[in-house]
């Protein structure tokens, strides 16, 4: 089963099933983050109210991280149990995070997705094959068709 990762559709599977939309937890929680950060910045340094505001800000960050982790665990577990072999794009995540789409790539957590797929495939004795990002699947299929008598 081939998995194509993206920002609009988080994962598109090669079995012509519906693509899995990107949940965008950070983007959805930005309003709460902005309000909590504004509250922290307006509090007097060293006060109890500033400490409480910082704790609230930390809880908002924690919730966003836990939502993302929960989504990734459920998705990777489902993929590993459903298929015996998985092929995934070998994307340069560190390079993509340095572009103007950095916030979106960080929100998608593609590196964490690959890490989880890797260890879950090892645990369940399934195959995970990283495919080069420049690999053209369409050209190879056409060459095989031409070679067949």
pLDDT digits (tens, 9 = 90+) for 120-132: 999 999 998 888 7
Nearest to 67 by CA among 113, 127, 25: 25
Q: What is the pLDDT of residue 38?
A: 96
Residue 56 has pLDDT above 80, yes or no: yes
Say what the pTM is. 0.78
Contact residues for 23 (Cβ-Cβ < 8 A; gap 6+)? 10, 67, 68, 71
Residue 14 has pLDDT above 70, yes or no: yes
């Amino acid at each position: 089963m081939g998995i194509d990762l993206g920002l609009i559709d988080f994962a598109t599977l090669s079995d012509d099933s519906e693509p899995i939309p990107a949940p965008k937890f950070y983007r959805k929680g930005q309003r709460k983050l902005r309000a909590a950060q504004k509250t922290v910045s307006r509090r007097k340094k060293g006060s109890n109210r500033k400490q409480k505001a910082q704790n609230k800000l930390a809880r908002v960050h924690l919730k966003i991280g836990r939502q993302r982790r929960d989504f990734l665990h459920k998705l990777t577990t489902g993929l590993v149990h459903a298929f015996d072999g998985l092929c995934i794009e070998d994307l340069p995540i560190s390079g993509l995070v340095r572009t103007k789409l950095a916030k979106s790539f960080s929100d998608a957590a593609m590196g964490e997705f690959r890490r989880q797929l890797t260890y879950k495939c090892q645990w369940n004795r399934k195959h995970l094959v990283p495919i080069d990002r420049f690999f053209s699947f369409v050209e190879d299929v056409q060459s095989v068709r031409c070679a067949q008598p």
